[in-house]
Amino acid sequence: MEQYFKDFLNGQSIILKQMASSDLEEFIKVESEKHTLLLANDEIPFPHTVEDHSTFFQSISGKKEEFFFGIFEKTTQQLIGSCGVYSINWINSTCLVGISLSEKWHGKGLGTDAMQTLITFIFDYIAINKIKLQVFSFNVGAIRSYEKCGFTKEGTLRNEIFRFGKFHDIILFGLLREEWPPLS
């Protein structure tokens, strides 16, 4: 039991926690980066306004069917990204996850650490059997990270996203409770 208290929302190098209003400015910076706009969602990559971000930020609550966390680097306590659990299907025990990380923190293992921490939260505290996610086929770093976390490729949505002047695939991944944690 003590280990659960010690490890709750703590990764190796990151901490997942609720963002405070003092984090809004940094959150807007991360969400407005080119990499975030191009890799994090399938909308037209047009920057959101400060009001859009503020409205979203104010809607975050632990009392909803979605769980949204800030990703904070442990040593500096700096907000470096965000991740969340959404589209929970209680009947079929599934959910979707998503993550966004500031470009300057890419390639350092912090996204993988954050995703592993989020997965642990889901399987330890939510009655979920399967976690699903979608990733653009050109986001090779994210694909490697998800595979390190134990996700299995389950399918491809062909020519599903328009970026960089042409259509690209979206790859579907899944992770079952029985597959967690992955064998090292």
At residue 155, the pLDDT reads 98
Q: pLDDT tens string for the chain (184 positions)? A: 666 677 799 999 999 999 888 998 999 899 889 988 898 888 888 888 888 777 777 776 666 678 999 999 999 999 999 999 999 999 999 999 999 999 999 999 999 999 999 999 999 999 999 999 999 999 999 999 999 999 999 999 999 999 999 999 999 999 999 999 877 5
Contacts of 69 (CB under 8 A, 6+ apart): 9, 16, 17, 18, 19, 82, 83, 84, 118
At residue 118, the pLDDT reads 98
At residue 21, the pLDDT reads 85
At residue 61, the pLDDT reads 62
Q: Say if residue 47 is preceded by a cis peptide, omega within 30 of 0.
A: no
The token pair that represents 59 in the structure block: 């809607």
At residue 48, the pLDDT reads 81
At residue 65, the pLDDT reads 77
At residue 1, the pLDDT reads 63
Alpha-carbon distance of 87 to 5, in angstroms, equals: 27
* CA 33 distance to own-chain centroid: 16
At residue 7, the pLDDT reads 79
At residue 45, the pLDDT reads 83
- Looking at residue 168, what DSSP letter applies? E
Query: Helix (H, G, I), strand (E, B), or coil: what is residue 140?
Result: helix
CB of 132 closer than 8 Å to CB of 86: no
